[in-house]
Structure 1
Amino acid sequence: MERIEKFHGNNHYEIDLPNGNLHVFANPDIYQSFDSRPFEMADNNLIIPRNVYMSYTPDAHVGIGTCIGTTAVWNMKDGFVSPSIVGVDIGCGMRVHTTPLHKKDIQDKGVRRALIKTIEKYVPTNERTNSHYVDIDIREVVKYGLRGLPSAYVPHEQWLTHVEQSTFKYDHQYLDKLPDDIHKYAHGQLGTLGGGNHFIEILYLEIEEAQKDLATQWGLFDGQVIVMIHSGSRAWGAKLGQEYTKLFRASMFNWGIENPDRSLIYAPISSDEGQSYLNLMYSALNFAVSNRHMIAFGVREAFRELFGGEIEFPVLYDLMHNYALKEYHRNEAMLVHRKGATRALPPGHFLNTAAYRETGHPALIPGSMGTSSYIMIGKEEGTKNFYSICHGAGRARSRKATKELVTVDEFQRSMKVGSDEEILVNHRSLATILDECPQAYKDVDQIIDSVVGASLADVVATCKPMAAIKGV
């Protein structure tokens, strides 16, 4: 496939492909690591008519139908929506809570092991274990998000305000289009972690010197223990995705639309299929933000059991990196798809939630297990990429290839096993989660260097891991 590359400086490449333009934000080393497949996938995506903009963040890698790490934009008035560019785990995202604890308070391995065990008591990590919150009405959650939770599960108003969005509004009549069994499956999963790359991590902060004032405004300090949560919409989003994959594929066949990649599905925003999917996607976003909220509620209970019932556990921020949102850019209403991409709004931007209107919101970027994660702040220059940055390190190799190429000994060394700085995990054997080892992912420091060098965002704090909890 022919492609013409232009380098705009500041880690910004523009590639002319047969079907349109792709922007890539990556430093030279990361850019050179891309093989031909991501560009082929981008060209397939650009077959979708009237695309306004498409880009890859440096963590981009091959996914189903679309690369993870994609931002793709269409006008609301005549554009398209694609479940493939939203992703299969609708509403998957990040949440961070702060604590008053310092690294030294949990340095002892015995304390951290007790913390892991206690968190597992309150947060189901086994796929076969049901939710502890079966008293919560799932119908209220998918309709109203955090505003649909009983007040007993909202420790503070701040848990509702320091989030990307507490309620994603939509026409609830579309819920009648979903299969009846979706409620049964989802009811048992609210507040559960899930498997794959989902996790709860305990980390401590190293604040950037240039960002100390901002960090203080956000309630952050050097050595502070924080909790990072990564999960999504579980069975609700999965079932919805399955149903609409079949529906969109059948509609595309009836319309006579073909694409080289059968996994890529899309429909006009104004079509019945497009409107139905968009409305129900928002129900999955409501489930996802509520799921992370309830996971955090369980983690809070664990911290209070170990460190005292008065310990504060405020939410820093909750955001998503798999969704399509109506946003206003260039004085027009646009549908911005982010698949494995994080919105990072700068200070003063009108789309910021009220709590962060002045400072800009924290952008939460996890590393791979055993490596640093980051809290960042968006820059005004990010407008060139619709304020999208990376969502993590991004896989460098498949799960199968990782198991074939990486040894458990290598994994153990990366987790500092046996040392005082060992990153503890909830699995007895690292062999069971080898496919999630740091060697499966790109170098997160290179990813962050790419984003900073592209003037999309700056680092506020580096988060150093101390313990990780993965699904079983």
Structure 2
Amino acid sequence: MIVRPYTEQAEEACYRELQLPAGKLHVYASEEIFRSLDYRVFAMANNNLQIPGLTYMSYTPDVHVGEGTCIGTTAVWNTDGGYVSPSIVGSDIGCGMRLHLTNMHRDELRDIRLRRKLVRAIDHYLPAEEHARGHYSDIRLEHVLIKGLRGLPNKYVPDHYTPKQSTSLTHVECARYRFDEGVLDRFPDRVWHRAHRQLGTLGGGNHFAELQAVEIDERSRELAERWGLFDGQVVVMIHSGSRAWGGAVSRYGTTELLKVMRRLGLGTADPKLVYAPLSDPSAQAYVQLLYSALNYAVASRHLIAYAIRQACREVLGTAFEMRTLYDLMHNYAWEEQHDGSSRFIHRKGATRALPAQHPDNPSPYLETGHPALIPGSMGTSSYIMVGQPGGRDNYYSICHGAGRIRSRSATKKLVSVRDFAAALGVGTEDEVVVNHRSLDALVDESPQAYKDVDQIIDSVAGAGLAVPVAACRPLATIKGVSS
């Protein structure tokens, strides 16, 4: 990434307020990215702004068209009299990022044969879609849904026996989301069975697990080292969500809230934009189920990391370790306190990035602000950022990734396997090893399908929302296959 100073002029260039017919839209993007935005994102914003009581709406630079609402949206209501929208949460509730620090240097993985061996081992331990029947039979799904990480048996929390050094339960956005457990009875056995078999699985699409190498940003070196990062360090990044359980919650919420909309005479020009007053019993049931999906998502990412740790220790030996740096989500809605008032905030493809001393930081990160994890696309860098005080203007929301510029079908038509292979450095000593013999099935996840992640990071930093702490260069990638 080109290093540039972040000035007041840069902040002005990376932010604009637009007056749409239905209300104001705040856009955080450089001039170049702003001019490249699909006109449909503004039509979608105008529909969203027609929902009653919406007090604030913004786009981050990775914004792109979604169903009902764009990915890259932050939408805010006062909790009292507010609304909830499954469309502005997204179908993969609790989808988010997790990063683990290892005790290895990238030079130890220079041999491509060793990287391939690691990928094969991880592919064996980490299914993309479902585990075999009986796998994780000692984990009770209701415990995970109700207790989150704290619902897992101790055997799956490798550092549970050293609580003073444990990071599994403390270095996360939230280890447990509390809710009314009675709502869990609304789903039939088949949903429970499928959700249990998908617990700790990766999924397809843009989800991944990746071995990466750290390159610290000189402007943030002191903070990076305080967090335990060092140049060349191998880290493990995970991107996944709430799988079958979250999908069931999303479908339930969409169906039930559509009934509320018809009963109350609500609607916009977009029939796929679903919402309802928080005060409605059906909306409350959806919110409670949403929290159960957040518990599922954070526990599932933890189990993905557990499987990767098992695979790496099998190949590299028992001296290999993986310490949790952070786990956070970018598809959800929940209540937050801002300026002494309760707000109900939706983030769809938007990451919360709190600065130092913000009281919502988990205690290990109160003094520094927490790591904000931003994935790139296949073959490009991902980033670790930290929120800045200026993020307050955007309810501390930043980007969640690079953001698509092409649909999956369009990417398959426009990008050749040869171009994709070149982006991964296939045939060179720096090849990003992938767990698929053929890249045909993954072309729709090639870098050419996404915006330039470096420009996204520059926009966020230029707007004063967050700054980069380190780039994470890919070494090996585990992917499911897009559906």
The Cα offsets for residues 146-197 of structure 1, whole Å up to 9 and x where unpaired, read as: 0111111111231000000000011111212233322111010111101111
Question: 1:212 is paired with a residue of what secondary structure?
Answer: helix
- Which residue pairs with 1:111 in the alignment? 114
> For 1:202-351, what aligned pairs fall within 5 Å after superposition?
202-351=211-360
Name which of 145, 148, 152 aligns with 2:148: 145
Q: TM-score of the superposition, structure 2-length normalised? A: 0.95
Q: Does 1:365 align with 2:374?
A: yes
Question: 2:198 is paired with a residue of what secondary structure?
Answer: coil
CA distance in 1, matches of 2:188, 2:29: 42
Name which of 36, 40, 48 aligns with 2:39: 36
Does the CA-based 8 Å contact 2:96-2:241 persist in structure 1?
Answer: yes
CA distance in 2, matches of 1:207, 1:23: 31
Cα drift, residue 346 of structure 1? 0.2
CA distance in 2, matches of 1:140, 1:468: 31
The Cα offsets for residues 366-420 of structure 1, whole Å up to 9 and x where unpaired, read as: 0000001100010000000000000000000100000111111111111111111
Cα drift, residue 432 of structure 1? 1.0
CA distance in 2, matches of 1:364, 1:35: 25
The Cα offsets for residues 269-322 of structure 1, whole Å up to 9 and x where unpaired, read as: 111012111111000000000000000000111111122213221000000000
Question: 2:322 is paired with a residue of what secondary structure?
Answer: coil
CA distance 1:459–1:8, shift in 2 (3 Å): closer
- Gaps (5+ residues) in structure 1? 1-6
Question: 1:158 is paired with a residue of what secondary structure?
Answer: coil
The 10-residue stretch of structure 1 (453-462 or 117-126) with the greater mean CA deviation from structure 2: 117-126
- Gaps (5+ residues) in structure 2? 1-9, 160-165
- Which residue pairs with 2:162 in the alignment? none
- Which residue pairs with 2:4 in the alignment? none
- Which residue pairs with 2:14 in the alignment? 11
Question: 1:244 is paired with a residue of what secondary structure?
Answer: helix
CA distance in 2, matches of 1:80, 1:95: 29
Does the CA-based 8 Å contact 1:141-1:287 persist in structure 2?
Answer: yes
Count residues in correspondence. 466
Cα drift, residue 251 of structure 1? 1.6
Question: 2:19 is paired with a residue of what secondary structure?
Answer: strand
One-letter code of the match for 1:95?
A: R
Does the CA-based 8 Å contact 2:11-2:462 persist in structure 1?
Answer: no
Q: TM-score of the superposition, structure 1-length normalised? A: 0.97
One-letter code of the match for 1:295?
A: I
The Cα offsets for residues 419-471 of structure 1, whole Å up to 9 and x where unpaired, read as: 11111100111111110000000110110110010010001001101111101
RMSD: 1.3
> For 1:46-195, what aligned pairs fall within 5 Å after superposition?
46-126=49-129, 132-156=135-159, 157-195=166-204
One-letter code of the match for 2:292?
A: S
One-letter code of the match for 1:15?
A: L
- Which residue pairs with 2:476 in the alignment? 467
Cα drift, residue 223 of structure 1? 0.3
One-letter code of the match for 1:187?
A: H
- Which residue pairs with 1:398 in the alignment? 407
CA distance in 2, matches of 1:230, 1:104: 25
Name which of 409, 421, 427 aligns with 1:412: 421
Cα drift, residue 21 of structure 1? 0.6
Does the CA-based 8 Å contact 1:346-1:377 persist in structure 2?
Answer: yes
Identity %: 56
CA distance in 2, matches of 1:154, 1:49: 44
Could you list the runs of 4 or more consecutive aligned residues of structure 1 that deviate by over 3 angstroms after TM superposition?
126-132
